[in-house]
């Protein structure tokens, strides 16, 4: 089976997305997670682009250059190449990436040169870079709109000058899978005849939604290396999504006879981090990492998935490290799903009569609440205590440690944003007030003081749903002592209340985890 080299370009091409500018700390944080994801090469940036870019490529090379190969891009000019090497020299495996347009549109309209001038410029640039660094990647930009004969001359010229990797860039997402596959096949045949050690790489953009399909077609036709970004972020419609390619190769490895070294259980975490730092939401239906990617909604699908997950799942959410442990029941949830959720909480032996009664109650509350979480199930079970009194003690015991928001008040101002909460636990009621950097910070500090659980807030998100009438709060907290993560959510018409409830729900998840 062939190993496909994965270059992640989230910090270079990905950062070119409209409105995103990452600082050094943010880039290092993403780079560190890319290391955990086990990408083969981190494309750290464009050192000639700005002093900040220079500094971040330099820092990434210093901090991560002994774990992962690091690349930096340069135009085919000495100044860019010098700057790239100046940053990359701290890495054990530096890769200078020189890029130039290969289509007539790029050559004539953007570069205002002739085809011959480009050949001279690129071979001079590659020979110069080769004196500094052994590994040179040469990208032919807009290759899918280039004349094939010239494209090949250009590639041959680059290999003869010392390029070790040839990167076919579908810069504007013009390629189609079959056609792109054929192009890669032809180039690969010529390239391996010219130099069997040369590496063929592809870089696809997503303007027609085909970046992943094109990348996979390239792998099927001989590409040795691929370039992609987390969540598919990048210029315009973005780049090929790394998580999609990695999982397609994992699920269909025998078809491609290929694999990557990506640690798939780090995918979700990486996606969340990139989304959070870049401030770019991942669409709910985004393949692999979208919020709904593993949620079965229709009754028939849910019932099938409960019988056997393989009925409707080709990937399990834990394969990508999904931490979403909450079972969320909605208006679409049927009796068998409710039964499954109850049995996971330990209520396995319910009689039909009991289940019917609980289901009736469930339909009442789901109408009001929209989503029913694990701890709500205790309240549902209460509805059958009259017919099964034995359950009473068990519920009281399990419920008494859970927190319940009674009231809250926040004061928003620029000097002392503050929050007060009243929270019930069992038969005790607690009140706390706190100040913070903002009202949500104050609110969370007050709740944490009540809970007396050592937790760190890892992620907080509030978004509008149901045409802006309601807010969905989502939080991820870590238990400080073992870093175990708990994700939770809550819906309310008030954004502050949704935020508070989401946090309290996450604390309850910790308690319920202990109960289990
Ligand atoms: O899209 C593109 O052409 C690029 C190259 C620099 C590889 O990002
Ligand atoms: Zn690109």
- The pLDDT of residue 80 is above 80: yes
The tens digit of pLDDT for each residue in 360-375 reads: 989 988 887 788 887 7
Burial class for 238, CB neighbours closer than 10 Å (0-12, 13-18, 19+) = buried
User: What local confidence, expressed as pLDDT, does residue 324 receive?
Assistant: 56
Q: Please provide the DSSP assignment of 264-316 as one string.
A: GGGHHHHHHHHHHHHT-PPPTT-TTTSTTTT---SHHHHHHHHH-GGGT-SS-
Record the pTM. Answer: 0.81
Residue nearest to atom 6 of ligand 1 (CA): 99
- The pLDDT of residue 326 is above 70: no
- The pLDDT of residue 332 is above 70: yes
The tens digit of pLDDT for each residue in 463-481 reads: 887 666 788 888 989 998 8
Instruction: With cut-offs at 50, 70 and 90, classify the pLDDT of residue 270.
Output: very high
- The pLDDT of residue 63 is above 60: yes
Helical spans, DSSP H, in 112-263: 115-132, 148-161, 177-194, 211-220, 242-251, 253-256
170 lines ligand 1 (CB under 6 A): no
- Nearest ligand 1 atom to the CA of 172 is 1
- Nearest ligand 1 atom to the CA of 203 is 7
- The pLDDT of residue 323 is above 70: no
Residue nearest to atom 2 of ligand 1 (CA): 171
Average pLDDT over residues 378-384: 80
User: What local confidence, expressed as pLDDT, does residue 467 receive?
Assistant: 65
| Ligand 1 centroid distance, CA of 239 (Å) | 10
Which of 80, 171, 239 to probe ligand 1 with, by most ligand atoms within 8 A of CB?
171
DSSP state of 103: S
Lowest mean pLDDT among 122-131, 159-168, 372-381: 372-381
| Ligand 1 centroid distance, CA of 16 (Å) | 11
Domains of the chain: 2-278 (3.20.20.70), 295-399 (no CATH), 403-515 (3.30.160.270)
| Ligand 1 centroid distance, CA of 423 (Å) | 54
Burial class for 433, CB neighbours closer than 10 Å (0-12, 13-18, 19+) = middle
Helix (H) or strand (E) holding 57, with range, is: helix 51-64
| Ligand 2 centroid distance, CA of 204 (Å) | 7
Say if residues 456 and 444 touch (Cβ distance below 8 Å). Answer: no
The tens digit of pLDDT for each residue in 425-439 reads: 988 999 999 999 999
């Amino acid at each position: 089976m062939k190993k496909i080299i994965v270059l992640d370009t989230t910090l270079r091409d990905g950062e070119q997305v409209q409105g995103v500018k990452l600082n050094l700390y943010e880039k290092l944080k993403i780079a560190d997670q890319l290391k955990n994801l086990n990408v083969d090469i981190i494309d750290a940036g464009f050192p000639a682009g700005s002093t900040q870019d220079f500094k971040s490529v330099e820092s990434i090379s210093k901090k991560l250059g002994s774990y992962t190969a690091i690349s930096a891009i340069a135009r085919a000019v000495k100044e860019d190449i010098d700057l790239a090497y100046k940053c990359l020299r701290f890495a054990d495996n530096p890769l200078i990436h020189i890029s130039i347009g290969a289509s007539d549109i790029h050559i004539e309209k953007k570069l205002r040169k002739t085809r011959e001038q480009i050949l001279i410029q690129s071979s001079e640039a590659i020979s110069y870079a080769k004196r500094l660094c052994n590994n040179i990647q040469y990208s032919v930009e807009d290759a899918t709109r280039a004349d094939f004969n010239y494209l090949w001359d250009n590639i041959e010229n680059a290999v003869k000058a010392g390029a070790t990797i040839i990167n076919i860039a579908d810069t504007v997402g013009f390629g189609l899978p079959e056609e792109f596959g054929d192009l890669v096949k032809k180039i690969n045949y010529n390239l391996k005849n010219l130099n069997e050690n040369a590496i063929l790489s592809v870089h696809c953009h997503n303007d027609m939604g085909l970046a992943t399909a094109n990348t996979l077609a390239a792998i099927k036709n001989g590409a040795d290396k691929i370039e992609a970004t987390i969540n598919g972020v990048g210029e315009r419609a973005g780049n090929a999504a790394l998580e999609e390619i990695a999982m397609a190769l994992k699920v269909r490895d025998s078809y491609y006879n290929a694999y990557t070294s990506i640690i798939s259980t780090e995918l979700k975490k990486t996606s969340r981090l990139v989304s959070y730092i870049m401030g770019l939401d991942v669409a709910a239906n985004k393949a692999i990492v979208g919020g709904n990617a593993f949620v079965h909604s229709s009754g028939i699908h849910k019932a099938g998935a409960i019988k056997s997950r393989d009925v409707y799942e080709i990937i399990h959410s834990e394969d990508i490290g999904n931490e979403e442990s909450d079972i969320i029941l909605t208006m679409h949830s049927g009796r068998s799903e409710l039964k499954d959720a109850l049995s996971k909480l330990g209520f396995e032996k319910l009689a039909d009569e009991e289940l019917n009664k609980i289901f009736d109650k469930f339909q009442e509350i789901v109408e009001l609440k929209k989503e029913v979480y694990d701890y709500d199930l205790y309240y549902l079970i209460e509805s059958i205590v009259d017919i099964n009194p034995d359950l009473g003690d068990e519920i009281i015991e399990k419920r008494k440690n859970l927190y319940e928001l009674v009231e809250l008040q926040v004061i928003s101002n620029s000097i002392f944003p503050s929050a007060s909460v009243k929270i019930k636990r069992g038969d005790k009621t607690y009140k706390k007030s706190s100040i913070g950097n903002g009202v949500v910070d104050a609110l969370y500090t007050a709740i944490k003081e009540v809970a007396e659980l050592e937790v760190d807030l890892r992620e907080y998100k509030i978004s509008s749903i149901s045409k802006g009438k309601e807010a969905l709060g989502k939080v991820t907290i870590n238990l400080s002592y073992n870093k175990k993560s708990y994700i939770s959510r809550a819906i309310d018409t008030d954004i502050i209340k949704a935020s508070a409830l989401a946090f309290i729900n996450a604390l309850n998840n910790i308690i319920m985890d202990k109960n289990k």
